[in-house]
Amino acid sequence: MLMVIVGFAEFGEGDELIGIVGHLDVVPEGDGWDQDPFEMVDIDGVLTGRGVADDKGPLLAAYYAAKIVNEMDFEKKYKIRVIFGCDEENGSSCVKYYFKHRPYPAMGFTPDADF
């Protein structure tokens, strides 16, 4: 069985990296749901379900921002690497694995739906 726990997309040129780290996984279904956790439900205009208010949207926004900046006509001094983790909800083994095999960025941030 093939298990993907982390991936990345890279834009720009330069020796140093700006890292954008986020995750695509969702919380385990667990207990305590008022509806089927595998079904998104609209309750009075509020979406509920596994993963509806987490980092997928902000991570995709950061991906597109990096892509747009890369296409702009000015000298880039850094590569931008968007890192897509897939195990944040179970201990972030994705990030540990990534940094075991890839360099740390010179600077970085994490786009998050809670901010």
Instruction: Give the catalytic positions in this structure.
Output: 25, 88
Report whether 105 contacts 81 (CB < 8 A): yes
User: Which among 18, 2, 9 is positioned nearest to 103, based on CA atoms?
Assistant: 18
94 to each of 6, 16, 37, 38, 90, how far by Cα in Å?
5, 22, 24, 23, 9
Output phi, psi for 69, to 5 deg: -60, -40
Q: What's the rounded Cα separation, in Å, for the pair 39 and 48?
A: 8
